[in-house]
Amino acid sequence: MSSDPKLADSGRHRCDNCSKVWDADELKDFCDIMQRLDPGGTVPSGECPECHALCYPVEPEEEKDVWGESEKYPRADWKYEVANGDTNQGYWDWVRNKKMLAADEEKSDGS
């Protein structure tokens, strides 16, 4: 593992702003990282080389198929939340958020 603030892996990473996908070695080093993070949020992989927003690892199922579906978080549930105005996130961003919320709930239940 590198001492570089970027993750030293060979995976793919999506920009949180422009949604472009980059290889790990294409990402730029962070600038002002402590001012850009939310407490308890996902640690970013690096900075987008084009728009300088933060990039995050692409979920394995997202990498496989843009039109695919998470087994645990079906598209029907996402569509329901979109229709009710409960989210305006894209499907895979919604899945990632649901996973983070579930992990947070497990941590708080285990404390």
Higher-pLDDT residue of 68, 10? 68
**Residues 11-22: pLDDT tens digits?**
788 888 888 888
Q: How many CB atoms lie within 10 A of CB 78?
A: 22
**Residues 66-91: pLDDT tens digits?**
778 888 899 999 999 999 999 988 88
Sign of CA dihedral 103, 51, 87, 12: negative
**Crossing angle of helices 91-110/75-83, nearest 10°?**
100
Ranges of each domain in the chain? 12-58, 64-110
| Residue 86 CB burial class (10 angstroms; 0-12, 13-18, ≥19) | exposed
